[in-house]
């Protein structure tokens, strides 16, 4: 018969005879009969059919006849692709067969023979007539098998629950697929194959694995790019990659002349792996078809049946949702990483000074946050240094950080004022012309004095203090010049502080992600940084910065880190 997704046969006219007239006409037929319209819905049924199939007329009328009645020998819904009646219906021809099964209204399974033919009454196309005859009396009909599922119900539910838990607990696409394969092999199949549709609508066979001595063995020779998905191929994998419902397949499925490049690859897959029976289900999310999952049995003596398909479809659907989430997350990470790379400034060249910077994104966040650093030349010849942290940890925080940094640059360049006045101007503007809620920052000027020594002048708006390490390994925090953070709306005077940069000394500006750790106080983090920075004072500046980051940042910290290091020249 047909379903809602199938087109009506071209040229077939809608019935012109009232339903009551059709019903009276059917009553004259001495066997069970019903009539369906061009979409396969029952529009008339006689009393013989009601009695034979144990269903009142109201259970027939308006229902899709295939979905309502047609079953396989085990009592499971008959796949449309295997339904001879549906093919005859679409072709508009007469056909008949024996050995089929209909489900009765009382749940019993009735072996039937049927005849289907176009039905013309008084020259009008009334629809399609179906005559049904029981091959044995209804009282001997048997109930559909209910224990055909490969797993007991509790084990099936447990597998689905485990699938959901394991697949949704990672946002890495490759890890999602590894977990999926470990769930289904060897529990459901000897072999598992994953074909994915890339963002460019190309098909890639990403995984071909089978179970061997309790481990999964990957067959890279069977993996790789696949031919494009044909638009109208009836072959199982092609249908699954178009999002059509799951189907069964075997070597015989691909023995015929291939209709596409995908069919050729499938033939090779069955030939090389020895898969005897396979179930193929689409992997899809709520937005799109992402690929297909193929489970194959080579050593397992039991073939897949239609009873297995609902479970495999459920697993593939959960995999699709998890994979889609992972892809969206990774896409956000890529966008954020690109954005961050464009936001991070280049260090200026300042004769006599060495400068280096590092940015380490949060490991489990969006790859970008509100932490930032900056260094640039000022209009009076001094060099500006800045480090800061915008509240939040997402793309909005990064956008706010860019606004804040650019405003600070503009104020610092256009106004030859002490750092405290520049930051005060920034604080006045931040709540009115930016999206920043609150932020911390250190803004400093470093310049060479007339005597050849270097001097630092800074102000601190709620940020962890700078660390100054002498060439001999003496480290101290510069705690002066401290004021409240930006964006509070409180207008209090900000102060400046000044300190010399001894020859060979290293100035370290950083964000709190470097010194914070779960279960540890901020003072403990500051002490750890001071101790390691002092021990590394003799290292070249790039090595010093890398080692500080590696040694001090706690492995469980999920915050991003910005680091700016400046080294004064040694005496000549």
Q: Give the domain ranges of the chain.
A: 19-140, 153-332, 344-567
**Same fold? 153-332, 344-567:** no
Q: Is the pLDDT of residue 5 over 50?
A: no
Which residues have C-beta within 8 Å of that of residue 260, sequence separation ≥ 6?
227, 230, 233, 235, 238
* Maximum average pLDDT range among 330-339, 361-370, 397-406: 397-406
Nearest 10 degrees: CA dihedral of 70, 71, 73, 75? Answer: -140
Q: Identify the helix (H) or strand (E) that includes residue 58.
A: helix 57-60
54-67 pLDDT, tens digit each: 888 889 999 999 99
pLDDT at 477 over 70: yes
What whole-number percentage of the chain has pLDDT above 90?
A: 48
Q: What is the pLDDT of residue 511?
A: 94
What is the Cβ-side half-sphere exposure of residue 508, based on CA atoms within 13 angstroms?
33
| 153-332 CATH fold | Beta-Lactamase (3.30.450)
Question: CA dist 336 to 96, 256, 390, 397, Å?
Answer: 63, 49, 16, 11
Please check the confidence at residue 12 and state whether its pLDDT lies above 50: no
Q: Which CATH class is domain 344-567?
A: alpha beta
Please give the pLDDT value at position 340: 61
Q: Among 15-24, 233-242, 451-460, which stretch is predicted with the lowest mean pLDDT?
A: 15-24
Within 75-148, where are the H helices? 84-91
Give me the CATH code for the 19-140 domain, please. Answer: 3.30.450.20
Per-residue pLDDT band for 147 (boundaries 50, 70, 90) equals: very low
pLDDT of residue 197 exceeding 80, the answer is: yes
Which two structure tokens, joined as six digits, stand for 131?
């005559």
Interval 423-435: pLDDT, tens: 999 999 988 887 7
Residue 335 scores a pLDDT above 80: no
């Amino acid at each position: 018969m047909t379903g809602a997704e199938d087109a009506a046969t071209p040229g077939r006219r809608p019935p012109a005879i009232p339903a009551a007239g059709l019903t009276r006409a059917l009553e004259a037929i001495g066997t069970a009969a019903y009539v369906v319209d061009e979409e396969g819905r029952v529009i008339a049924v006689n009393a013989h059919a009601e009695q034979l199939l144990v269903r009142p007329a109201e259970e027939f009328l308006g229902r899709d006849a295939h979905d309502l009645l047609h079953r396989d020998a085990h009592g499971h819904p008959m796949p449309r692709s295997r339904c001879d009646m549906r093919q005859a219906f679409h072709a508009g021809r007469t056909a008949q067969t024996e050995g089929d099964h209909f489900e009765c209204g009382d749940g019993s399974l009735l072996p039937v023979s049927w005849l289907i033919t176009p039905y013309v009454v008084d020259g009008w196309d009334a629809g399609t007539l179906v005559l049904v005859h029981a091959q044995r009396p209804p009282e001997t009909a048997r109930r559909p098998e209910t224990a055909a599922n490969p797993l007991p119900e509790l084990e099936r539910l447990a597998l689905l629950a485990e699938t959901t838990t394991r697949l949704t607990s990672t946002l890495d696409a490759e890890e999602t697929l590894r977990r999926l394969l470990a769930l289904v092999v060897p529990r459901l199949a000897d072999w598992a194959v994953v074909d994915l549709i890339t963002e460019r609508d190309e098909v890639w066979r990403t995984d071909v694995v089978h179970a061997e001595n309790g481990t999964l063995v990957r067959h890279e020779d069977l993996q790789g790019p696949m031919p494009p998905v044909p638009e109208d191929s009836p072959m199982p994998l092609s249908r699954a990659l178009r999002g059509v419902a799951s189907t069964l397949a075997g070597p015989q499925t691909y023995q015929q002349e291939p209709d596409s490049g995908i069919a050729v690859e499938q033939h090779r897959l069955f030939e090389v792996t020895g898969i005897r029976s396979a179930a193929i289900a689409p992997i899809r999310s709520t937005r799109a078809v992402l690929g297909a999952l193929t489970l194959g049995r080579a050593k397992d003596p039991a073939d897949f049946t239609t009873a297995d398909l609902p479970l495999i479809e459920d697993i593939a659907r959960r995999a699709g949702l998890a994979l889609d989430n992972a892809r969206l997350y990774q896409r956000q990470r890529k966008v954020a990483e690109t954005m961050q790379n464009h936001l991070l400034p280049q260090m200026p060249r300042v004769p006599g000074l060495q400068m280096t910077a590092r940015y380490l994104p949060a490991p489990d966040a969006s790859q970008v946050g509100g932490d930032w650093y900056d260094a640039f030349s000022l209009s009076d010849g001094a060099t500006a240094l800045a480090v800061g942290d915008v509240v939040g940890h997402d793309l909005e925080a990064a956008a706010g950080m860019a606004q804040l940094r650019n405003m600070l640059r503009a104020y610092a360049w256009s106004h030859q004022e002490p750092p405290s006045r520049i930051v005060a101007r920034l604080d006045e503007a931040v709540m009115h012309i930016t999206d920043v809620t609150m932020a911390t920052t250190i803004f400093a000027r470093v310049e060479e004095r007339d005597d050849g020594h270097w001097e630092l002048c800074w102000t601190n708006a709620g940020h962890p203090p700078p660390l100054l390490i002498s060439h001999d390994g003496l480290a101290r925090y510069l705690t002066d010049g401290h004021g409240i953070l930006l964006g509070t709306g409180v207008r209090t005077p900000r102060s400046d502080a000044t300190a010399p940069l001894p020859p060979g000394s290293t100035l370290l500006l950083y964000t709190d992600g470097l010194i914070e750790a779960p279960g540890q106080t901020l003072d403990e983090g500051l002490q750890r940084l001071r101790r390691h920075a002092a021990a590394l004072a003799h290292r070249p500046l790039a090595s010093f910065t890398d080692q500080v980051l590696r040694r001090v940042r706690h492995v469980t910290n999920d915050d991003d880190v910005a680091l700016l290091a400046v080294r004064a020249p040694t005496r000549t």
